[in-house]
Amino acid sequence: MIYLLLGLLVIFFCLDGLNFSRYNAALTRKVFHLEKIIFLTFFLSAILILCSPSQQWKALAQFTFFYTATFYFIRRRRLLKLLLSELDTVSEEEYKAGVEKQMLRKQKMLIVAGAMGVIYYWFYGMCVLSSLTVVVFRLMGLGDYELLEMVLMTFVSSGFVFYLIYRVSPTLSKQGFADSIRLVYPENSAHKVFIIPALLGVVFAACSAYMMINRVAPPQTPLSEVLGENPSAIVVIFLLFLAVIVAPFIEEVVFRGYFFRVFRQFMGKMPVILIIGLTFALLHVPQYWGDWLAIGMVTLLGLVLTFLREWSGSTIASVVTHYVYNAGVTIIPVIYLMTSNPAYFDYQAYSQEYDTPKKERLLLESIKTQPDFAEAYNELARLYAHEDMKLEDGLSLINQALSYYPEKTDFLDTKAEILYHLNRYEESVLIRREILNKKNLSEKKKDYIERKIKETEQALSN
């Protein structure tokens, strides 16, 4: 990941420097020494990519990134101040002769510089926040709460990017922030802004929920791994608040509000629809990696949302669709689970408050209600392993779950844990080594599996 960050930083330097150079190459060169910065970053990035990804090299890569980014940040602010004051230094004759052309060039330069600044400052700020979060969580003993970290990062990131866009919005419109991101209601456009977008949101939500509920073997993704941490009720409520209330609005302000209008200054509608829609999808790929159906759905959604923005002339249309979709895709599966398997819903909602007999009763009732529900078999088997009770029953339960999803990482780990408690250490280690060989395993999961293997090998040696 750190190599990707460095690569994106280099691309940013090139595009941002090119924008400034087109406006005033001599001043840009004088303030920036751009060629030296790009060469140095490319050189160090190449060395790091060719070397083995040990912790020492990762630390060096992080230092290179923060040092180069901070240096660029300071120089960039200085250059912008000089460029903004440039027109004040020309003579009256020169000003009158070239003011219209110069102002147009200046306006385009400021629009691009503002967009690049949003990307840069958000990117840099999130890297700093991520590093600080890891340190603080470790000091507080919260190193295993990846979901809590993700929720906090998402909340801060949303507020930060909104603030950045608010600061640069005057480059797009002098009539206020809402006009700059086209968060306005065109006259006589209720069908374009509300009715059709809401119907599209319902259709997308229903299709996504149907696939979620009826898929035989949903693949494991980074997002599903994080959500499988059994978080507290407060974290779940805050996560739902972000997903249903905050995320749709912020994402639409960023993609269909601000960046759509930036690109629309320089391109036609079809290239912009493709660029914004596909970029929206690309930024969602890491959390859905491995689930190509989900990636395809979010790509289609991104393109439809961007088309709505172009067709209606207002960001409100895409906001409405996004809100309806996120609410629907969250609520419909919950309603389905409540009605089809109320015992499992009760278990998921209140398991942290229930004692072991209550949890066992609910899971047994859930299996009776839905005999092919693999998650209930796994949860009951893991409960038996955690309490070191009914281990043979637990082994039968997890084998039943694996008959539905033989490659699912969580199920395999549950079986390894039961085998460990049955003192069948060699089999437990073998299964966990098999898990380690799987692709797309998160670093947190790898650390956990490696730690469990060491514990099992120590028990075996004793």
With b for 16 or more beta-carbon neighbours within 10 A and e for fewer, the 250-268 pattern comes to: bbbbbbbbbbbbbbbeeee
pLDDT of residue 97: 52
Would you tell me how many other CB atoms lie within 10 Å of the CB of residue 175?
Answer: 10
Residues 6+ apart with CB under 8 A from 256: 276, 305, 306, 308, 309, 315, 318, 319
Q: Flag whether pLDDT at 420 surpasses 60.
A: yes
Residues 6+ apart with CB under 8 A from 250: 158, 161, 162
What confidence tens digit (pLDDT) does each residue in 62-78 have? 666 677 777 778 888 88
pLDDT of residue 66: 72
Closest by Cα among 63, 259, 307 to 161:
259
Give all domains of the chain, ordered by start, each with its CATH number: 85-335 (no CATH), 360-461 (1.25.40.10)
d(CA 263, CA 374) in angstroms, rounded, equals 47
pLDDT band of 36, cuts 50, 70, 90: low
Q: How many CA atoms does the CB half-sphere of 32 hold within 13 Å?
A: 29
pLDDT band of 189, cuts 50, 70, 90: confident
In terms of pTM, does the model score above 0.85? no
pLDDT of residue 289: 81
Interval 353-377 mean pLDDT: 93
Interval 398-423 mean pLDDT: 92
Share of the chain above pLDDT 70, in %: 82
Which of 31-45, 109-123, 336-350 has the lowest average pLDDT?
A: 31-45
Distance from chain centroid for Cα 343 = 32
Residues 6+ apart with CB under 8 A from 95: 87
Asked if residue 137 lies in contact with residue 143, where contact means CB atoms within 8 angstroms, the answer is: yes
Interval 330-342 mean pLDDT: 88
Q: Flag whether pLDDT at 451 surpasses 80.
A: yes
pLDDT of residue 174: 86
Would you tell me how many other CB atoms lie within 10 Å of the CB of residue 67?
Answer: 11
pLDDT band of 204, cuts 50, 70, 90: very high
Would you tell me how many other CB atoms lie within 10 Å of the CB of residue 461?
Answer: 7
Asked if residue 308 lies in contact with residue 321, where contact means CB atoms within 8 angstroms, the answer is: yes
Two structure tokens written together for 431: 């299964």
Q: What are the backbone dihedrals phi and psi of residue 158, each rounded to the nearest 5 degrees, phi first?
A: -65, -45
The alpha carbon torsion through 326, 332, 333, 334 (nearest 10 deg) reads: 100
Task: Quote the mean pLDDT of the chain.
Answer: 83
Which of 165-174, 268-277, 320-329, 431-440 has the lowest average pLDDT?
A: 431-440
Q: Which of 3-17, 285-299, 422-436, 445-459 has the highest mean pLDDT?
A: 422-436
